């Protein structure tokens, strides 16, 4: 099978903080031939970076907490525990964004940055691709309120022992996929971290 798809039409439905486009597409089928014409909406926000900030000497993970609209139907979950993340702007590399966001969102100076992996967060309906990094920090004195006022960021930063961060996943306090992936990566790699 030759894997192909055709965009028959693209219509802008919304252009604001994020973009929503409607596509009419066809794609080749595993059984041969082409699919019917499919109409799908795609949430387009650009590519992003996430950084797992970790102090290996003290076994501490930097966790941030901020308001998120996604869980609007579950108001008690609207303040989510996450890791540092941000959108890649034109002219920036993913690594540059990782360093910048670590400082803006958590007040952290990263000693060493290591690329972990890239992944799509929800490819069935969103174009967002995450570049995930591990950033080594000294967690002494990290905490408090951070974020950029002109971006309306209101971020509470704290450090927790790795075991506490891992327990937050197990007991459902961390519900966002990106920190779950990052902390599970750390669980698998913390005794052999990249230099």
What gap in Å lies between CA 95 and CA 99, rounded to an integer? 6
Q: Which long-range contacts (CB under 8 A, 24 or more apart) does 147-153 make?
A: 147/66, 147/104, 147/105, 148/104, 153/66, 153/104, 153/105
Which residues are known catalytic residues?
A: 151
Q: What DSSP character marks residue 109?
A: P
Q: What DSSP character marks residue 193?
A: -
Residue pair 24/38 in contact by the 8 Å Cβ criterion: yes
Q: What DSSP character marks residue 131?
A: E
What gap in Å lies between CA 94 and CA 99, rounded to an integer? 9
Q: Which residues of 47-75 are buried (b: 16+ CB within 10 A; e: fewer)?
A: ebbbbbbbbbeeebbbbbebeeeeeeeee
């Amino acid at each position: 099978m030759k894997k192909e798809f055709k965009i028959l039409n693209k219509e802008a439905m919304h252009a604001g903080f994020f973009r929503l486009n409607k596509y009419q597409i066809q794609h080749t089928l595993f059984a041969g031939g082409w699919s019917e014409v499919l109409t799908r909406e795609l949430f387009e926000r650009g590519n992003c970076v996430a950084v797992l900030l970790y102090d290996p000497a003290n076994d501490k993970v930097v966790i941030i907490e901020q308001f998120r609209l996604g869980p609007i139907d579950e108001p008690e979950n609207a303040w989510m525990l996450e890791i540092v993340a941000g959108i890649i702007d034109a002219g920036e590399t993913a690594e540059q964004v990782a360093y910048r966001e670590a400082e803006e969102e958590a007040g952290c100076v990263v000693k060493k940055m290591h690329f972990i992996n890239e992944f799509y967060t929800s490819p069935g309906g969103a174009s967002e691709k995450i570049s995930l990094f591990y950033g080594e920090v000294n967690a002494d004195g990290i905490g408090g309120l951070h974020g950029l006022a002109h971006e309306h960021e209101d971020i509470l930063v704290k450090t927790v022992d790795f075991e506490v961060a891992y327990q937050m996943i197990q007991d459902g306090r961390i519900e966002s996929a990106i920190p779950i992936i990052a902390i599970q990566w750390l669980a698998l790699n913390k005794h052999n971290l990249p230099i």
